[in-house]
């Protein structure tokens, strides 16, 4: 499998590096980094001061050169009635997106002595692995340690691991 990462707007090199490394380690796939893309026109909702996640998925699917493509943005995303999303993908689609905007909030888990930089890097890795999992057909998993667990807050992101649980692995790997 080939996954193309599509950075949208300004994105630190470290984010691209962590995303790429996370995907390669879990899916053993080829990963490329696309040229930076401008934020899609019309994605901004001035009433909410947030960006529509769907527009980024569409962009990733359109410009990405992979079998699966993931947009990564530092902008704050929302989807339908949810206040925000860390990421979004359609089941078995070829485009997906994550936002780093809300992954930078300090850890509230308190179970780790690790630096904020390391915690942030782990969240980025987990979120890209999670969204690409959806594009491979995986739905949310009840196992709180599994990367496919639904994690609406960073606390739940921090609890889960970067890997797919055994049952999810058997479905896609």
From 32, 84, 97, select the one nearest 58 (Cα to Cα): 97
State which H helix or E strand residue 118 sits in: helix 116-135
Catalytic residue among 131, 139, 156, 162: 131
Q: Contacts with Zn ion in 117-156 (CB under 5 A)?
A: 141, 143, 146, 148
Q: Which stretch binds Zn ion (CB under 5 A): 5-13, 49-57, 64-72, 159-167?
A: 159-167
151: its two tokens: 């994690």
C-alpha span between 28 and 23 (Å, rounded): 7
165 is in an annotated binding site: yes
State which H helix or E strand residue 87 sits in: strand 87-89
Q: How many residues bind Zn ion (CB under 5 A)?
A: 6
Q: Is 54 a catalytic residue?
A: no
Does 165 participate in binding Zn ion (rule CB under 5 A)? Answer: yes
140 is in an annotated binding site: yes
Q: How far is the CB of 150 from Zn ion (least distance, A)?
A: 6
Q: Which residues are tagged catalytic?
A: 131
Site residues for Zn ion per CB under 5 A: 141, 143, 146, 148, 165, 168
């Amino acid at each position: 499998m080939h996954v193309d990462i599509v950075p949208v707007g300004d994105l630190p090199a470290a984010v691209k590096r962590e995303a790429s490394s996370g995907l390669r380690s879990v899916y053993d796939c080829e990963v490329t980094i696309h040229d930076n893309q401008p934020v899609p026109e019309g994605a901004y909702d001035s009433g909410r001061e947030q960006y529509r996640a769907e527009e980024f998925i569409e962009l990733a699917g359109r410009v990405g050169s992979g079998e699966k493509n993931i947009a990564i943005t530092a902008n704050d995303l929302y989807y339908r009635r949810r206040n925000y999303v860390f990421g979004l993908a359609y089941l078995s689609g070829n485009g997906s997106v994550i936002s780093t905007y809300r992954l930078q909030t300090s850890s509230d888990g308190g179970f780790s002595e690790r630096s904020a930089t390391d915690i942030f890097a782990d969240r980025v890795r987990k979120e890209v692995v999670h969204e690409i999992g959806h594009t491979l057909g995986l739905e949310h998993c009840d196992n709180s340690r599994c990367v496919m667990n639904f994690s609406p807050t960073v606390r739940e992101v921090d609890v889960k691991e970067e890997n797919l649980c055994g049952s999810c692995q058997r479905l896609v790997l």
